[in-house]
Amino acid sequence: MATTVKELKATARPKSGKGAARAERRAGRVPGVIYGNNQPPLTISIEDRELRQRILAGRFLTTLVDIDLEGKKHRVIPRDYHLDPVKDFPIHVDFMRLGEGATIRISVPLHVVKAETSPGVKRGGTVNIVAHAIELECGVESIPQYIEADVGSLEIGHSLHLADVKLPAGVKALTREDATLVTIVPPSGYAEEQKAAAAAAAAGAAPGAAAAPAAGAAAPAAAAPAAAAKAPAGGDKKK
């Protein structure tokens, strides 16, 4: 989970505005900007094919990049990119310049692990990912590629919360600790099966409960004839 730094070549874009941006796109390049760290913004352009490959590879917004701009490298992190709404290719990208020792707020993806060993999954439950990413604050040199969510001990109906996840050293979560990350959802018909099992257990206990009063009632029933038998004896004495 060590921080990965990629390299990307860029060309200075002296002109800004919509017209200049369209010209860059027609030339097969994507316009962009580097900003931050109390320095003036730099307008740049990047080869469309290379940028598209980086985005499709995943984790683009959590990967540090050294942009080689005419022989000078700028340590940045992608902060946003825009895609064409119809053709779905990049049309603009923003990079934030990072100073040495800088701290950054970033959204890191959540990776669920050990689902196959979860007792809830073995009983037919399904892993339901509630949060696909976690908001973190950390140094630019210690950005984790992802955070692991271990669900190997979860039963059906149980959840994994942020407080249950171990974060790397120097990384602070910006989400509340009781936030639910993953739950094990019961299979279809599970609630009905539980009700049927509870009803069966209750029915099994009912005969035993009814038997106790019956046994207790036997004593008064047996005592009644004995009391009746004493009555004639008492009557004979009076005569």
Whether 227 has a pLDDT exceeding 70, the answer reads no
Q: Per-residue pLDDT averaged across 216-233, rounded?
A: 45
Q: Taking 50 as the threshold, does the pLDDT of residue 103 lie above it?
A: yes
Q: What is the mean pLDDT of the chain?
A: 84
What is the reported pLDDT for 137? 95
| pTM recorded for the entire structure | 0.68
Q: pLDDT tier at 131 (50, 70, 90 boundaries)? A: very high
User: Which segment of 33-42, 151-160, 195-204 scores lowest on mean pLDDT?
Assistant: 195-204
Per residue in 30-48, is it b (16+ CB within 10 Å) or e — as a string? bbbbbebeeeeebbbbbbb
| Integer Cα distance of 25 and 51 in angstroms | 12
Handedness of CA 13, 17, 18, 23 (dihedral sign): negative
7 closest CA partner among 67, 51, 62? 67
pLDDT digit string, tens, across residues 191-222: 676 677 777 788 876 655 444 454 444 444 44
Predicted pLDDT at 220: 46
Q: Is the pLDDT of residue 41 over 70?
A: yes
Integer Cα distance of 196 and 216 in angstroms: 32
3 state SS of 66: strand
In terms of pLDDT, which residue wins out, 188 or 50? 50
**Residue range 44-89, pLDDT digits in tens:** 999 999 999 999 998 899 889 999 998 999 999 999 999 999 988 9
pLDDT for 234: 46
pLDDT for residue 7 is more than 60: yes
